[in-house]
Amino acid sequence: MNTETSELKTVGNQEVPPRPDLLWKDLFTDVQRRAIFDDSKTFVDLVPLASPESILSTYHHVKAEHKLDDEALKTFVLEHFAPAETAAVAYNPDPNEDVTTHIDELWTALTRQPQSKKSPYSSRIALPAAYVVPGGRFDEIYYWDSYFTMLGLLESGRSELVRDMVQNFAYLIDTFGHIPNGNRTYYLSRSQPPFFASMVDLLAGVDGDDVYRRYLPELEKEYAYWMDGADQLQPGEARRRVLRLEDGTLLNRYWDDLAEPRQEAYVEDVETAEASSRDHAMVWRNLRAGAESGWDFSSRWLKDGKTLTTIRTIDIAPIDLNSLLYHLERTLVKANELAGHTDKIDHYRERAAQRLQAIRTRFWNAEQDYYGDYLWQEDKLTGVISAAMAFPLFYGIATPEQARGVAATLERELLKPGGLSSTTTTTGQQWDQPNGWAPSQWIAIEGLKRYDNTQLARTIASRWIHTNLERYNEEHKLIEKYNVINNQRAGGGEYPAQDGFGWTNGVLRALMADYPDVH
């Protein structure tokens, strides 16, 4: 065995093992390719009961002595690995309890405490403070999910847990230079929609503006991660997550530093690449970039609008991502003003102004009145109408006229009986019609309210609340996503709809407080 692949690397104040494919080598490949578990994520989250050298040595011996069928291979894995070391708190909801009580009690079940002891070869990255997981198969913190979870935590009076989670994200930035998709080793090569500045906003609303000064170093490090390589770019070039247009404007795209199958979706990614005539590494890079977007997956990223093999995420400057980066730039202006760092203010203000102008022009479809995703090499929009169009309203980027246009398009194209649909097309991907998601509802509702369109905001909120409550009354649980057309249990994507569920709980709790007469 090449012992280098199992060496622990000290990062920050903890030892981090290699990601599972490097750690378990042919055992990883055999388990994943043969789909020993129904979910590819199962194996990479298991905790080894001995050292990698010992387990692999035993595996190679058994493999040489016996022909391992699928059942025998699964038996071997279950003998040498155990489930994750952070067990969920048991929670058996009372079917007669109201949904607000359910959410308030569920936070405890979804909270994970810092680990004092852990397997050195677990894929889980230890965090210094408590955090809330989404639920179901997602038993780790997730970056953009957490912002929407925090909305509900604050409404439930759990501000200390919000402080803990912001502290954890600052720790991840300080330790790894960015906030990964989640606190797993196999997520370190990418991030997720950068909501850290908005999390700081939430906490500042509780603790005051000193929060901006406290987290200014991490805000600047996050910005450096997303803008890495910008200073060396020539017009028309891109590097990692940043690109420069012909006129010099800087924009951002989603990316992943690896071009191989995702460890937690290995067999799915292999099958997608094998079904394509494209270079497999290019398919995998784009799949991973799609995972960084949080919209994994959607017609937003598909060249033909329907087939996953045509995914082209890295060719697109997304409207939501660039709105988030604009907000980060404006937040850095504010934080540096508060800190008295006058030498940096003009730099961030200029970056924000340049991005604002680009969003209002290049991302805007004046004929159909919507904000879309921008094909930066072709200087045109993708043509996909999606709920992401509300981000420029949420962050105050849209002109009043554009905001009116977006409102009309949302109502005409995406508003369904149960809330906003993700897109106008049905592809079988989970971020397409008929599915609606909690974060999209919140961004649209708050964005519309920012531009004084309280009537449409209320309509969306009312329909979404009723969708959630109807399913809760039927199943006594809240789930990851909802079918907003007929409220049948949502499907699509790589895995079944998950119970829990962090951001559904957070957004519903906040909306029910904002619209107390709706339910």
Residues 290 and 53: beta-carbon distance below 8 Å? no
Of 229, 134, 218, which Cα lies nearest the Cα of 182? 134
Half-sphere exposure of 480 (CA within 13 A, CB side): 20
Separation between Cα atoms, residue 163 and residue 167, nearest integer Å: 6
Contacts 24+ apart (CB under 8 A), 213-217: 213/335, 213/338, 213/339, 215/166, 215/170, 215/335, 216/332, 216/335, 216/336, 216/339, 216/341, 217/174
Q: How many CB atoms lie within 10 A of CB 372?
A: 23
Residues 132 and 108: beta-carbon distance below 8 Å? no
For strand 482-483 and strand 435-436, is the pairing parallel, antiparallel, or unpaired?
Answer: antiparallel
What does residue 501 show for φ and ψ, rounded to 5 degrees? -125, 125
3-state helix, strand, coil in the chain (%, to 5): 55, 10, 35
Place of tokens 């246009």: 405
Structure tokens at 219: 């805000």
Catalytic residue among 139, 256, 315, 480: 480
Burial class (CB in 10 A: 0-12, 13-18, 19+), 247: exposed
Which residues, at least 6 apart from 67, have a Cβ–Cβ distance to it below 8 Å? none
How far from chain centre, in Å, is Cα 345?
Answer: 29
Separation between Cα atoms, residue 312 and residue 408, nearest integer Å: 29
Separation between Cα atoms, residue 500 and residue 108, nearest integer Å: 12
Distance in angstroms between the alpha carbons of the first and the last residue of the chain = 61
Q: How many CB atoms lie within 10 A of CB 117?
A: 6
Catalytic residue among 269, 296, 373, 413: 296
Residue 480 designated active-site: yes
Element (H or E) spanning 352, and its range?
helix 342-362
Hey, which residues does 420 pair with through a beta bridge? Answer: 415
Separation between Cα atoms, residue 514 and residue 419, nearest integer Å: 16
- Please identify every residue annotated as catalytic: 296, 480
